[in-house]
Amino acid sequence: MEPLQEQGSDSMAQFRHEWKYEINYSDLLAIRRRLSAVAQVDQYAIDGTYEIRSLYFDNLEDKILREKQDGIGVREKYRIRYYSGNTQAIRLEKKSKRGSLGTKYGAPLSRGEVQAILDGQYAWMAESGRPLVVELYSKILTQSLRPKTIVEYTRQPFTYAPGNVRVTLDYNLRMGLGYSGFLDPDCVTIPARDRPVILEIKWDAYLPTVIEHAVRLPGRASTPFSKYAVCRVYG
């Protein structure tokens, strides 16, 4: 799992370079083979992968979705996330974007706090003592953000210390038909369109040549792919 900064001002955040590619399964096999020879598998992965389930926020005007679709260069989104069914370690995350640069903040949430959010009970957030939780509460009040869509998928993560590189291969993308079952391991989800595979590369100041060669896809251009946007097809 990727380390997250605690909440602070964007002006003091460490923004990282981010590239995304929509690839096919043959690409996945080739890139996975090359990365396995030069990079490390993330320490939290079990047999090389883990499952991610996220709950994204938006409002009635689909502010977050529309900013993404319209290509707004500076934007932010909020989500709640846990891994491989472990609801004892849930995180609230805020992702900020500036063009091709991105950063993430995080704060812990208990299962009970997440259930309160699912039930539309938000007042406790103001006194939580966690700046990111308080910030989301302010956006709930001022922008009418609400839980919107469940997104889940399988991730195969690799790391490479020089350049603080992280490469992920995401597949088996699925979406929820609502959000109330977010904490339920048996929540019904359905496959996203075309079952895309997403290659994502993140790094700090420089991308080492060995990793650039390992993830190279001739003739492919990076894409502003959004799992959240794809999973909003049914509402």
State the residue range of the domain holding 78.
Answer: 10-230
CATH number for position 85: 3.20.100.30
64-79: pLDDT as tens digits:
999 988 888 899 999 9
Residue 95 and residue 77 in contact, taking contact as beta carbons nearer than 8 Å: yes
Place of tokens 């790391």: 159
Residue 38 in domain: yes
Structure tokens that stand for 74 in this block: 């500076």
What's the CA gap between 232 and 152, in Å, rounded? 13
Is 172 part of any domain? Answer: yes
Do the domain assignments include residue 146? yes
Least confident of 5-14, 59-68, 92-101: 5-14
pTM confidence score: 0.91
> CA dihedral in degrees (138, 150, 17, 64; nearest 10)?
-50
CB 204 within 8 A of CB 222: no
For the chain, the first-to-last Cα distance in angstroms comes to 29
Number of domains in the chain: 1
User: What is the predicted pLDDT for the residue at 9?
Assistant: 46
β-bridge mates for residue 203, sequence order? 17
Reduce the secondary structure of 51-100 to three states and give it as a string: EEEEEEEECCCCHHHHHHHCCCCEEEEEEEEEECCCCCCEEEEEEEEECC
Check whether 2 has a pLDDT greater than 80.
Answer: no
- Percent over 90 (pLDDT), the chain: 76
Least confident of 42-56, 83-97, 123-137, 215-229: 215-229
Q: How far apart are CA 163 and CA 128, in angstroms?
A: 35
Look at residue 1 and tell me if it is in a domain.
no
Please state the φ and ψ torsions of residue 140, each to the nearest 5 degrees.
-60, -40
Residue 235 within a domain? no
The share of the chain scoring above pLDDT 70, in percent, equals 94
Give the CA distances from residue 25 to residues 32, 42, 212, in Å, rounded to whole numbers and listed in that order. 10, 21, 19
Residue that is written with structure tokens 């390992």 in the block: 214
Planar angle of CA 126, 127, 128, nearest 5 degrees: 100
Bridge partner residues of 92 (DSSP): 80, 107
